[in-house]
Amino acid sequence: MIVTVTLNAAIDRTLTVPNFQPGHRHRASGGLTSAGGKGINVARAVKLLDTPVVATGLAGGTTGDRIIEGLGVEGLLNDFVRIGDESRTSTAVVDPTAGALTLIYEWGPAVRTEELEMLLDKLHYLSRVATYVVFSGTLPRDVADDFYAEAIRDLNRRGVQCVLDTEGEPLRRGVDAEPFLVSPNQSEAESLVGQEFQDDEDFRVALDAIVELGARNVLITQETACFALFREDRVTRRYRAAIDRVEPVAAVGAGDVLLGGFLAARFNGAPVDEALRQGVSCAAASVLELGPGRFEPREAARLASIVELDELQPLPLT
């Protein structure tokens, strides 16, 4: 199965507020509350594609109770470590009039050393049946920046393929641990390599640079597109996959859905190019839905036929 790890799980509240203006009183025209966090979003997408997945991580307090109860209602298999501090709540305000999105994130819980050790023990157990272990999202308070890196090194020794999607120093250290796949979004990748990306050549340079930093494969996600570098059978290929922009309802979690769609396809035996098509089509379908990690699989299948996939040529040697 695929195992997703969410250390900073949350209750996600998505509110639709037409003509939203800070400092004014508003009445939401719609809303959705669900379990969230990047790893949970990935797991939700994988499950929608009928692929076996279990979500693990840390959950605490009454908010943690709601997270686990919500996953149970969705039928999403989960095995979280309960912690003493309270899990966070995240709020997204969608303004359909202006096409704007406002995100408000609480700080995550403080985590004790023994709670992290319990999580690592659980990962050792779950990794016995895992094709991929996906580490997604920010780290809570009191968790060292090298947590992902050390967990990846440990699972690498056990022959598990690790996937990493985070930001900042945890991303930099995690890439150095040589994960099977690193999947930052554009801004996270720009921070990692130290420059902004303006065109395909910039992305191509970034793919190679991230591999040089330690990643075995790279997937840079955008809202409804991605750039990828994959090495198979001693051959390295670079791709760009994209779809014409669709009018979004809410783009929260689109990158998580793209990663989930890609991994589900690979788990089920699809070649890299087909997996990239599925990932991008799932992400495009997800921006049409309210709430992160959600999409209509039939709509994703329809959109897959119009995903444009190009193989990028390697940079010339200098």
* DSSP designation for 142: T
Residue 141 backbone dihedrals phi, psi, to 5 degrees: -65, 150
Give the Cα separation of 169 and 100 in Å (integer): 29
Residue 246 pLDDT exceeds 80: no
Q: Which amino acid is at 314?
A: P
Domain that holds residue 59: 2-221
Residue 278 lies in a domain: no
- CB of 39 closer than 8 Å to CB of 135: yes
Helices (H), 2-132: 38-48, 61-74, 113-126
Residue 243 lies in a domain: no
Residue 188 lies in a domain: yes
Residue 46 lies in a domain: yes
Residue 194 backbone dihedrals phi, psi, to 5 degrees: 85, 25
Give the Cα separation of 3 and 5 in Å (integer): 7
Q: Is 52 helix (H, G, I), strand (E, B) or coil?
A: coil
Range name among 62-76, 83-97, 242-256, 268-282 with the lowest pLDDT average: 242-256
- Round the average pLDDT of the chain to a whole number and report it: 92
Residue 26 lies in a domain: yes
Q: 178: phi > 0 → left, psi -120 to 50 → alpha, else beta; which?
A: left
Residue 257 lies in a domain: no
- CB of 32 closer than 8 Å to CB of 68: no
Beta carbons within 8 Å of 270's beta carbon, 6+ residues apart: 278
Give the Cα separation of 176 and 169 in Å (integer): 11
From the list 77, 52, 42, 71, the residue with the least C-alpha distance to 129 is: 52
Beta carbons within 8 Å of 55's beta carbon, 6+ residues apart: 3, 4, 6, 39, 40, 43, 71, 76, 77, 78, 79, 80
Residue 125 lies in a domain: yes
- CB of 148 closer than 8 Å to CB of 173: yes
Averaged over 123-139, what is the pLDDT?
95
Residue 245 lies in a domain: no
Averaged over 266-294, what is the pLDDT?
91
Each residue's pLDDT tens digit, 174-223: 999 999 999 999 999 999 999 999 888 999 999 999 999 999 999 999 87
Q: How many domains does the chain have?
A: 1
Each residue's pLDDT tens digit, 77-126: 999 999 999 999 988 888 878 878 788 888 889 999 999 999 999 999 99
Q: Which amino acid is at 187?
A: S
Cross-strand bridge partners of residue 150: none
72-86 burial string, b = 16+ CB within 10 Å, else e? eebebebebbebebb
Return the pLDDT at 249.
65
What is the CATH number for 188? 3.40.1190.20
User: Which residue bears the tokens 């991303």?
Assistant: 171
